Amino acid sequence: MTKTITFENVYPFQDLPVLVAHHEGLFKDEGVDVEFIGGSGSASIKTDRNITSPDQVSSLIGHGSRSETKKAVMYNACEWGNYRRTQDTGVGAKQIGRRASIAYGAIIVPPGSSIVTPQQLADVTIGLPYYNGTHYLAIQMLEGFVPRDMIKTCQAPTGARGRYHSLMNGELDATTVVEPYITVAEKAGCGIIAESCYHGTEVASDELDMEAYAGFKRAVRKAVERINANKREYVHYFIDYHKDDPVVAALTVDDFNLSRIQVIEPQTIPESELQRTYDWMISWDMISSNFGLENLVDENVQRGGVEALGVLSDD
Q: For residue range 163-198, what is the model confidence (pLDDT) as tens digits?
A: 999 999 999 999 999 999 999 999 999 999 999 999
d(CA 140, CA 31): 41
Question: Contact at 8 Å (CB) between 205 and 92?
Answer: yes
Specify which residues 262 forms β-bridges with.
Answer: 102
pLDDT score, position 266: 83
pLDDT score, position 40: 55
Angle 188-129-23 from CA coordinates, rounded to 5°? 75
Percent of the chain at pLDDT > 70 equals 96
Question: H/E element holding 183?
Answer: helix 181-188
pLDDT in tens, 237-267: 999 999 999 999 999 999 999 999 999 998 8
pLDDT score, position 312: 44
Specify which residues 74 forms β-bridges with.
Answer: 7, 204
d(CA 157, CA 178): 13
91, exposed or middle or buried, with CB in 10 Å at 0-12, 13-18, 19+?
middle
- pLDDT confidence tier of residue 315, bands split at 50, 70 and 90: very low
- pLDDT confidence tier of residue 1, bands split at 50, 70 and 90: low
| End-to-end alpha carbon distance in the chain | 36
Question: Contact at 8 Å (CB) between 212 and 32?
Answer: yes
Is residue 63's pLDDT more than 50?
yes
Question: Contact at 8 Å (CB) between 100 and 268?
Answer: no
Annotate 182-209 with b (16+ C-beta within 10 A) or e (fewer).
bbbbbeeebbebbbeebbbbbbbbeebe
- For residues 4-10, average pLDDT: 91
Q: What is the mean pLDDT of the chain?
A: 93
- pLDDT confidence tier of residue 115, bands split at 50, 70 and 90: very high
pLDDT in tens, 187-196: 999 999 999 9
pLDDT in tens, 70-79: 899 999 999 9
Signed CA dihedral, 203, 96, 259, 34: sign only: negative
- pLDDT confidence tier of residue 39, bands split at 50, 70 and 90: low
pLDDT score, position 33: 95
pLDDT score, position 313: 43
pLDDT score, position 308: 73
d(CA 46, CA 144): 29
Question: How many CB atoms are closer than 10 A to CB 162?
Answer: 21
Is residue 216's pLDDT more than 60?
yes
